[in-house]
Amino acid sequence: MPTYKYPRPALTVDCVIFGFDRQSTLKVMLIQRKLTPFQGSWALPGGFVRIDESIEAAALRELQEETGLEKLFLEQLYTFGAVDRDPRERIVTVAYYALINLEEYVVKAASDASDAAWFAIDALPPLAFDHDQILLIALNRLKNKVQYEPIGFELLPRKFTLFQLQKLYETILGHELDKRNFRKKILKMGLLRELNEVQQDVPHRAAKLYEFDEVAYEQLREKGFNFEI
């Protein structure tokens, strides 16, 4: 058992995985804890960083073990280190976040978690530890991000309607947007390619489908903009 000259905080990772479903609901992936503390509570997937793996590798491993999600593009969010954030002992956690399209991922609960499930952002259960704070900061990061960078590529199906894209923005920003204004702004960016197709099997009038222009998307992502919505 390793012994050190001075006491050391334990180091963990936590992952905020956002998903967007067919019904235009923004969701987050939670796992139900099997062990104390907060046994039975819902929490962000995560766990301890091993001595021989990078922090990001630990986040990817824990995600895979606890939720079955693999090969996500994780971005580092923030490191949380309040002295009393864990009742067990001093634990510092590095939080990551990712955006995924729910239709492409099937989630299976695995080893550590008795359950893994998607929760709508506006109907969350109480969370273990300071995970509500971590989630809040991830949501704010997402809100900021949509002002300066194109978003949706990771969250929407490959072909989508302008209504779906607007719903995505509204869900992330937490308020409604003017339809005409939104369409004007988003089309002006040269980000979308209008397809010669319409929606299939919808009860209402089928809307036109669009896809992202990957080159324009990448350029705008690097250059940035101000959406001012």
Q: Is 4 in the site for its own copies (CB under 8 A)?
A: yes
* Binding-site member from 37, 40, 76, 178 for its own copies (CB under 8 A): 76
Q: Shortest CA distance to 144 belongs to which of 101, 173, 174?
A: 173
Q: Is 148 in the site for its own copies (CB under 8 A)?
A: yes
* Binding-site member from 34, 37, 40, 82 for its own copies (CB under 8 A): 82
Please identify, using beta-carbon distances, which residue of 19 and 150 lies nearer to its own copies: 150
**Amino acid identity at 139:** L
Q: Is 225 in the site for its own copies (CB under 8 A)?
A: yes
Tokens for 70? 């693999």
Q: Is 55 in the site for its own copies (CB under 8 A)?
A: yes
Other CB atoms within a 10 A radius of the CB of residue 197 amount to 12
The H or E element that residue 161 is part of is none
What is the smallest separation between the CB atom of 4 and its own copies, expressed in angstroms? 6
Other CB atoms within a 10 A radius of the CB of residue 112 amount to 17
Q: Is 147 in the site for its own copies (CB under 8 A)?
A: yes
Q: Shortest CA distance to 167 belongs to which of 28, 29, 27, 26?
A: 26
Q: Is 126 in the site for its own copies (CB under 8 A)?
A: no
The H or E element that residue 37 is part of is none
Contact positions toward its own copies, by CB under 8 A? 1-11, 48-56, 76, 78-79, 81-83, 90, 92, 94, 144, 147-148, 224-226
